[in-house]
Amino acid sequence: MEYLTAALRADGTSGEIGAALSYHPAYVRKLRGQLARGVLMPCGGPIAIELESVNDRLRFTREKGIGVPESLELTPELAWLLGIYCAEGCIGVSRDRPNAAILSFCFGKHEAGLIARTAELLSRIFGARPIIMDRRTTTTVEVAQTSVARLFESLCGRKAHGKQVPPPLLESPETTIRAFLDGYLAGDGYRSPTHVVSLTVSERLALGLFELGLHLGVLPSYFEHTPAETKVIEGRTVNQRKLY
């Protein structure tokens, strides 16, 4: 309830707040009116959340979006999107609304091509309506559909240290594997004079990338690096993990 109240009081249009909360803008305006009149009250007891099939699509009960297709072919375009998620994607879940999840991709402001392609593929493959948010130091592409977010989580993991190569990719054609690697390296890789290099804090993802190289007839190099425990970034001290 505290999270909802803070969100409704925040600056922004009803559309922007609705996208963050997975609510329709009209419903956000209604809640803001109730908050202003002091009549906004917590909801009742917990509601069972289950999957339901509607018009050949799957979604969670009470989800506002249209859900995801019941079946999806792992095409090179979808593989590229999964790769860019492994590099730049995250899933946000509110402590007050644990059944609502937001899929987000974070880019540098100069990465206009990656931003446009990510948004276009999310729209074309999933029928989603991604929102491009211009933030202080980054630009994010966000989809406030729980079913889409949970699909990416189940295939690729969630937090940075929990990312993985999606298991179906290991049985895919070479073109699909290369598309995944292109997406991942576009977001989280660089070229040295002799190698294409990536860094990750997920050992599982690193080993998965190594295995993909073997599928392509390439023997990758694999290293581990343990940095200092903390590092100062923009005046804040952050913890550091082992890098692979």
- Digit-coded pLDDT (tens) for 182-195: 999 999 898 889 88
The dihedral sign for the CA sequence 29, 31, 32, 37: positive
Q: Which conformational region is residue 138 in: left (phi greater than 0), alpha (psi within -120 to 50 degrees), or beta?
A: beta
Query: Across residues 5-9, what is the average pLDDT?
Result: 73
Q: Is residue 148 over pLDDT 90?
A: yes
What pLDDT is recorded for position 115?
96
- pLDDT band of residue 166 (cuts 50, 70, 90) is very high
CB 155 within 8 A of CB 82: yes
The two three-digit tokens of residue 167, written as one number: 């298991």
Q: Is residue 19 over pLDDT 80?
A: no
Query: Across residues 81-105, what is the average pLDDT?
Result: 87
pTM for this one?
0.76
CA distances from 88 to 24, 103, 200, 233 (A): 27, 11, 11, 18
CA distances from 87 to 7, 12, 129, 194 (A): 28, 29, 21, 22
Angstrom distance (rounded) from CA 188 to CA 218: 20
Please give the share of the chain, as a percent, with pLDDT higher than 90: 53
Beta bridge partners of 131: 142
Angstrom distance (rounded) from CA 233 to CA 213: 33
CB 146 within 8 A of CB 22: yes
3-state secondary structure of 185: helix
pLDDT tens by residue, 103-112: 999 999 999 9
What pLDDT is recorded for position 78?
98
CB 65 within 8 A of CB 146: yes
Query: Across residues 78-99, what is the average pLDDT?
Result: 88
Q: What share of the chain is helix, strand, coil (3-state, %, to 5)?
A: 45, 20, 35
Q: Where is mean pLDDT largest: 13-17, 21-25, 142-146, 179-183?
A: 179-183
Angstrom distance (rounded) from CA 131 to CA 15: 10
Query: Across residues 207-211, what is the average pLDDT?
Result: 96
